[in-house]
Amino acid sequence: MEETEEDKKDEADYKRLHSFPLIRHSDMPEEMRVETMELCVTACEKHATNNESAAKMIKETMDKKFGSSWHVVIGEGFGFEITHEVKNLLYMFFGGSLAVCVWKCS
């Protein structure tokens, strides 16, 4: 089955429409949330085909910047139950269906 020009255009429009980060839940302070969100977007764009590398980049940067014990999950279609430190959680969507969860647990 061959993709038509209209199908390709629709897919491009969908990706463009959902290329902004959508924060689902966060209890981080404003400055930390903005820095973490920008880091997540940068990592997901840089490692668009490798979620493991993107997660590693985010974790290592968060450990250096905000202390150790950060955890990162990136993917599509997953569920989770976590325990985290207060004011150290960010759960967001990026690129339409890619979910990113960053939290600290010591």
CATH code, domain carrying 26:
3.30.740.10
Dihedral, 60, 57, 37, 65 alpha carbons, nearest 10: 20
pLDDT, tens digit (0-9, with 9 covering 90-100), for 36-49: 999 999 999 999 99
pLDDT, tens digit (0-9, with 9 covering 90-100), for 60-70: 999 999 999 99
To the nearest 10 degrees (0 to 180), the angle between helices 30-46 and 51-66 is: 150
Count: domains in the chain? 1
Which amino acid is present at 57? M
Range of the domain at 30: 2-104
pLDDT at residue number 46: 94
pLDDT at residue number 99: 94
